[in-house]
Copies of this chain bind each other. A is one copy, B any other.
Amino acid sequence: MAQKTVLIVYAHQSPGSFNGAVRDVAVQELTEQGYRVIVSDLYAMDFRASAIRDDIIGDLKNSELFQYGEETMYAWMDGRLSEDITAEQRKVEEAELIIFQFPLYWFSVPAIMKGWMDRVLTQGFAFSLEKMYNNGIFKDKKAMLSFTTGATQTMFRPDGINGDINITLWPLQNGTLHFCGFQVLAPQIFWSPAHCPHMVRTAMLDGWRARLKGLLAEKPLTFAPCELFDLSFQGGFLLWPKAREEQESQPYGITTGHHLGKPLPPDNQTKAQPTDEK
């Protein structure tokens, strides 16, 4: 049996950073557990972020009007994606879990990591209209965000100046990772380590190490299963009437994004829901 693999997609410029320390803890702990750990160190690799014509080897299907999404889909089918993309796709295929390790830049991933998502998660390879969300191509894989913030935790509460962190995480966790099928583990958030005393940072790393011991067995976050929706253009990809009726008596929406005009389910994008015994 092939050795189980974890991929860490890592975006910090400095090996001596707190993000670097967090990555090192993950590499060490997961290696001790018997995993093969691959690190894609995006800055060290000088990974290109921009989605451009060079991502396709050979001729374009339509050189008059370059459509990145379509051209890369065809190139993937033909094995004509650029070598750097193909190399990352191979890592994704091998990985049981992907950890994205980064400092939060503008309520999101740094551009170099957004470039990894834009370029590596090609249509066909990572998703299709038939295969998305819980029916997605990577539904047997796990993924998670692990990041540092400049802001403190209270700033990202619904009553904090930046608003609810659950909202901020939605485009990344639902719109990108879960869209491709990944089971998304709760994010590991290191709140404002740069403004913490050394002892607190050490305690953060210890907490991360402890979490890593059970990480692969964790229950993932809850998203809206595709089966609730009429996945046809005619049906508008909207909730089935029956599903809507069943939701009516619920106190909360289904997810952060599928709120249905109700209060958001608390911590939907930050904590796995306890197993529900109805």
Contact = CB atoms under 8 A, between A and B. Distances in A.
Interface string A149-187: 010101101111111100110111011100100000000
A42 B51 CA distance: 11
A176 B121 CA distance: 25
A112 B49 contact: yes
B51 A112 contact: yes
Nearest to A46: B50
Question: Could you say how many copies of this chain the assembly holds?
Answer: 2
A195 to B, nearest CB: 9
A105 B118 CA distance: 7
A107 B162 CA distance: 19
Interface residues of A, number: 79
A262 interface: yes
A278 B174 CA distance: 38
A229 B162 CA distance: 10
A231 interface: yes
B161 A133 contact: yes
